[in-house]
Amino acid sequence: MSSRTVASLHITNGDSVVYTFKKAGILGTHLPWRDVLHEGPVPGELALEDCSRVRGAYLASRGYGKPIRVLHDFQARDAVIRRATEFDEVVLWFEHDLYDQLQMLQILHVLHGMELEPGRVSIVQSDSYLGSMTAEEIVTLHPKRRTVTRAMFERASLVWKHFCSSEPASLLADASTEHAGFPHLRTALHRLCEEYPWVSDGLSRSQRQALQSVAQGPARNDELFRRAQAREEAPFLGDTAFYAIVDDLRASPAPLIEGNEGMTMPTALGRRVLGGDADWMEEAPADRWIGGVHLSGSRTARWDDAQGTFRLAEEAVD
């Protein structure tokens, strides 16, 4: 069955890809998912609509949009996927990076609960960024889509539940396992583990890369963003998410950077943290979420990159 029909639902990561779909003549209903699931609370055991209310409130609080608009967009998005049974085929288009892989898991978890007939859902998993492709390049991916099997649905749903769990142990196991049918998932989940505070300095990898970018010398925010992205094997942060990290490092009770755009520089504490002589968690205990895990206080789970495990104080939690 061709997916280039009006009876198809195409779900992908954002609006730029939808624009390319239209240029490429990929017909049907186009649904951009638009959620930075690697950031903020994603509590487990909630229906999609309830989770969207939690996500919408968080994203609005972080400046991703006005509260009413964000919630309205989620409601409209959720209403479309709830109509998945009305389409001849549902095609998922996602990339290899963390941003996309978490969206893919959530969508497959939702569709799994809807119990569509076998063969109705297919997936394109690209190791290149769809948003930078031409219409001609996007079209060549069509024949490469593969049917999502029952085993793939079950695996994705299980890993999604692990991501939403209040404990990180299952995430570590998933980040250490190859997942049949999902060639990029293990690597993406390992990158998520690196977003926990590190035992070495109390910074997440994204926070450290932001601080390192500032330490390279004064620059505008867009240049700081490019510097940080260059340190990623598979960039996944958008510029808005990156700027929020920079603001967090600046606005903390124990700030690591100071100054305004174009004149940003590390504070004395920031230089000490970068040099390995201070632990930011001792100065500014964590208060943020990764999936269903609330990182709170100074004794929260930390990532030991040398050992590839989580630790709580001196005890591994794996």
Residue 315 pLDDT greater than 70, yes or no: no
Q: How far is CA 71 from CA 38, 45, 57, 78, 289, in A?
A: 18, 20, 8, 10, 20
Confidence of residue 318 (pLDDT cuts 50, 70, 90): very low
**Alpha-carbon torsion 261, 263, 283, 201, what sign?**
positive
Residues in the chain: 318
Which CATH fold would you assign to the domain 8-189? Dna Topoisomerase Vi A Subunit; Chain: A, domain 2 (3.40.1360)
Query: In the prediction, which pLDDT does 45 show?
Result: 84
pLDDT for res 313? 52
Q: Is the pLDDT of residue 196 over 50?
A: yes
pLDDT, tens digit, 9 for 90 and up, residues 71-115: 999 999 999 999 999 999 999 999 999 999 999 999 999 999 998
Query: What pLDDT sits at residue 1?
Result: 45
CA 308 to chain centre: 20
Task: Give kind and range of the element (H or E) at residue 202.
Answer: none
Whether residue 316 has pLDDT greater than 60: no
Buried b or exposed e, range 25-48, using 16+ CB within 10 angstroms = ebbbbbbbbbbbbbbbbbbeeeeb
CATH architecture, range 197-316: Orthogonal Bundle (1.10)
For residue 216, the model assigns a pLDDT of 96
pLDDT value for 179: 98
Mean pLDDT for the chain? 94
pTM, full prediction: 0.95
Burial string for 211-225 (b: 16+ CB within 10 Å, else e) reads bbbbbeeebebeebb
Q: What is the mean pLDDT of residues 248-267?
A: 94
Residue 150: Cβ within 10 Å count? 9
Res 248 pLDDT > 90: yes
Tell me, yes or no, if the two domains 8-189 and 197-316 fold the same way.
Answer: no
Please give the pLDDT value at position 317.
Answer: 43
Using CB atoms within 10 A of its CB, is residue 207 exposed (0-12), middle (13-18) or buried (19+)? buried
Place of tokens 């590390």: 266
- Is the pLDDT at 2 greater than 90? The verdict is no
CA-wise closest residue to 195 among 300, 82, 318, 71: 300
pLDDT digits (tens, 9 = 90+) for 221-235: 999 999 999 999 999
What integer pLDDT is reported at residue 298 of this predicted model? 77
Most trustworthy range by pLDDT among 39-48, 184-193, 308-317: 184-193
Q: Distance between CA atoms of 163 and 44, rounded to whole angstroms?
A: 8
Beta bridge partners, 11, equal 31, 92
Residue 60 has pLDDT above 60, yes or no: yes
- Domain segments of the chain: what residues? 8-189, 197-316
For 14-52, write each residue's pLDDT tens digit: 899 999 999 999 999 999 999 999 999 998 889 999 999
